[in-house]
Structure 1
Amino acid sequence: MKISKITTFAFCVTACFVSGVFFVSCGSSAVATTPVVEAEKPLVDEPVVEQPEGVVAEPTVQAEDDEYSRSVGGISVSRDTFAEDKETILRIISELDVIMKDPGSTKSYNAWVGYVDQESVDYWKLRKNLQKAEKRLPVKGIKLSSLQDYFKNVFVPARRGREVSEIRYISDTYIKAIQVQGEQDIVYYYFNKINGRWMVHLPPIDD
């Protein structure tokens, strides 16, 4: 009788052990499949974040159109010519910025004269015109005896450190280079196109 009870007990324990292993095994298989399903989700979500091509570029195109319209006004100038002229003039101004770092140098003055049109050179070499400029200087007591004095005491202080960002056509061969401040255009340079080359123009003083 005792042996029969022991045998029955051993059978029950064995059956429970086998059932437990089967249950754990099934549970493990169910858990193992979960990471595979989660890993696939980002692949499905990626296309949702893509932006249509060209959407970002629209504001830039609109801004360029506005600047072109502001710059040419009623002057007949193509977009390609406008872009080329602006690039050339901003490059010249960058070169002048380097020259203006040492306005007291004769080397700087000679380099600057090479950018100025002959009409301006002839006008501002005259003593009577330099005297007119003397009277209008904000700092009194400065003497302008030569074009080099004009370069050092008038041209450079009025332009050094300024940021020119746009151009305005007066004609297809005459341009103002300006800094835009709010709704105001501040003119820092005039340029004449002479024999295909943009030259700095120094306007005469009105009598």
Structure 2
Amino acid sequence: MKTVKILSPAMLIITLLLLGCATEPVESELEPEPADLPTAVDEPAVEPSANGDFEVTEELYEQTFEEVERVISRLNEIISVGDYEAWLEYLTPEYIEAITAPENLAELNASPLLQRNNIIVEDLQDYFEYVVVPSRANLRLDDLEFIDDNTVQAIMIVRDRRAILYLLRRLNGDWRISV
């Protein structure tokens, strides 16, 4: 069984913002349209342990990995073609609020990459165009870390280091980008 430690929301926001700004543009290829996402398992397969971590069954891990892999494939396609409206459908209200908070926009605009390219991010659409599209169009899922039974961190191994691609939360049976 896999166990993970719970991260604070503030650390997740900072990590996601830094990852979004830290990577250089990547050439992307369109991937096939994913099938409909399967529904969650009927029985709870994530149990809190005595130390606050969650123990995840192999079955839940594999099912969730497949679901999240399809979501990331779809996000890669959406981002590759720059479809802002389709991308919005994958965001939680908390994510939108966090990204568009004035202090977070100011932090983004202070990043060397944006300053070097004379880019100012004023709203969510600018964030999509100038941060998400250049850095997230060709991602792959290598691992998952469960925060709780409806929240996972999607992980990609980059230069032998674990990078959080997305924090995803299941809402009404669908995985959405969250903070």
Question: Is TM more than 0.5 here?
Answer: yes
User: Which residue of 1 is the match for residue 170 of structure 2?
Assistant: 193
Deviation, 1:137, is: 4.8
Count, aligned residues = 129
CA-based RMSD of the aligned residues comes to 2.1
User: Which residue of 2 is the match for residue 119 of structure 1?
Assistant: 94
- Provide the TM-score with structure 2 as the length reference: 0.63
Q: C-alpha separation between the residues in 2 aligned to 1:76 and 1:157? A: 36
Which structure has greater strand proportion? 2
User: Which residue of 1 is the match for residue 29 of structure 2?
Assistant: none
Deviation, 1:148, is: 0.5
Q: Who wins on radius of gyration, i.e. which is larger?
A: 1
**1:182 and 1:148, CA in 2 relative to 1: closer, same or farther beyond 3 A?**
closer
- For 2:157, give the aligned amino acid: V
Q: C-alpha separation between the residues in 1 aligned to 2:139 and 2:162? A: 13
Which structure has greater helix proportion? 1
Deviations 1:100-119 (Å, cap 9, x if unpaired)?
Answer: 1122xxxx101001001111
**Ranges in structure 1 where 5+ consecutive residues have no aligned partner:** 1-67
Question: Which structure has the higher relative contact order (CA within 8 Å, separation 6+)?
Answer: 2
**1:139 and 1:111, CA in 2 relative to 1: closer, same or farther beyond 3 A?**
same
- Provide the TM-score with structure 1 as the length reference: 0.55
**Ranges in structure 2 where 5+ consecutive residues have no aligned partner:** 5-52
The answer to whether residue 139 in structure 2 is matched with residue 162 in structure 1 is yes
Identical positions, percent: 25
Q: Kindly indicate whether the alpha-carbon contact (under 8 Å) linking 1:179 and 1:188 is maintained by their aligned counterparts in 2.
A: yes
Q: Kindly indicate whether the alpha-carbon contact (under 8 Å) linking 1:96 and 1:112 is maintained by their aligned counterparts in 2.
A: yes
Q: C-alpha separation between the residues in 2 aligned to 1:88 and 1:112? A: 17
